[in-house]
Amino acid sequence: MDEAAEGTSSTSYETAAAEGGRGLHSRQKLANQLVGLICELGLNAGAHLREQHLADLLGVSRTPVRAALQVLAERGIAEARKNQGYFLAKPHHVLGKVEIAVPATPDKLLYERLVKERLAKRLPDSFTQTDIASRYGPDRITMHRTLALMAEDGLIARNKGHGWHFLPTLDSKIALQSSYEYRIALEPALFLFSTFKADREALQRARARHVELAAHPDIASLKAPAIFAIDASFHEMIAEFSGNVFVLQALQQQNRLRRLLEYNSYEDRGRVREWCAEHIAIIDATLAGDLDGASRAMSDHLTRGYRVTPPMRTEDR
């Protein structure tokens, strides 16, 4: 059978469900961008949130902006007035810590499951799309998107004849070491790029989130995904400041691997407070214009992170 034709045929219901999950993900992701824009614009309660104006600022059409505004209205951040549109219900200065949870897409869920199954040695070196379809039951759209992303991330490659095979990247010990070595070589250098341009308001919002996390009275009660989101978004923020889209894509790819390889480190809440302090030091140096100092602090942070990150345990896989 042609590899492109492998897999179970997806029903219209399955396809709609997959598209619906991606739609919700997109709406909530854009809603977070709207919150950031509201903070940047310094809008106060009662401000008219005009769809076209926001769409122009975000570089999207009015339709997704309208859907994102509905998400804000559902959370009490905006108010929908009949025949008038949406209005801000809360002032910008109380929205800095607001983070709308973005649900995982079917693609992301399948990606993580395949990686975890491989790390646990429950998947063979070589496989076909038919194998994945029969084992996990994804619709064809989700499966094609997932395998394409895994190939892009260097986790799998096509066989010469038929199917796919896993690359050595998914040996957890090798992957963790390689990831940190790569990041230690890359991330400190970002501050020294000629295109590096920091967003002070974004840095201040990130600082506030880190201070709040480090001072949390019951940090042990926080879930690993929420802590990871703060960690990952910090590193992606610095990558965005570099002004280099290839760097940002590389860091996003690294974060997808880190999400699966480093969850053990978030059980050590003392270490979470330590890296919060390390991130804050990097933020403060950047805010002060000391980019050499920020670069050194990032190098120290990543080097220490590699030394103290525990290997992935079998039961976590």
**What burial class does residue 155 get, using C-beta atoms within 10 Å of its C-beta: 0-12 exposed, 13-18 middle, 19+ buried?**
buried
Note whether 286 and 203 are within 8 A (CB).
yes
| Residue whose structure tokens are 């094609």 | 144
Instruction: Inform me whether the pLDDT recorded for 176 exceeds 60.
Output: yes
CA distance 139 to 164: 18
Residue 174 structure tokens = 């090798």
**What burial class does residue 82 get, using C-beta atoms within 10 Å of its C-beta: 0-12 exposed, 13-18 middle, 19+ buried?**
exposed
Least confident range from 41-55, 128-142, 170-184: namely: 170-184
Share of the chain above pLDDT 70, in %: 82
| Residue whose structure tokens are 């080097």 | 303
Least confident range from 43-52, 118-127, 222-231: namely: 222-231
Q: Under CATH, which architecture does the 172-316 domain have?
A: Up-down Bundle (1.20)
Note whether 265 and 311 are within 8 A (CB).
no
The b/e string for 246-258 (b: 16+ C-beta within 10 A; e otherwise) is ebbebbebbbbbb
Least confident range from 115-124, 172-181, 270-279: namely: 172-181
pTM of this structure: 0.59
Q: Provide the mean pLDDT of the chain.
A: 82
CA distance 119 to 248: 26
Predicted confidence band of residue 266 (pLDDT cuts 50, 70, 90): low
Beta bridge partners of 157: 165
* CATH number assigned to the domain covering 13-94: 1.10.10.10
Domain 104-169 identical in fold to domain 172-316 = no
Please report the pLDDT score of residue 170 as a whole number: 65
String of DSSP letters for 166-222: E-GGG-HHHHHHHHHHHHHHHHHHHTT-TT----HHHHHHHHHHHHHHHT-TTGGGS
Note whether 7 and 61 are within 8 A (CB).
no
Residue 44 structure tokens = 């106060």
Task: Report domain extents, the chain.
Answer: 13-94, 104-169, 172-316
Q: Under CATH, which architecture does the 104-169 domain have?
A: Orthogonal Bundle (1.10)
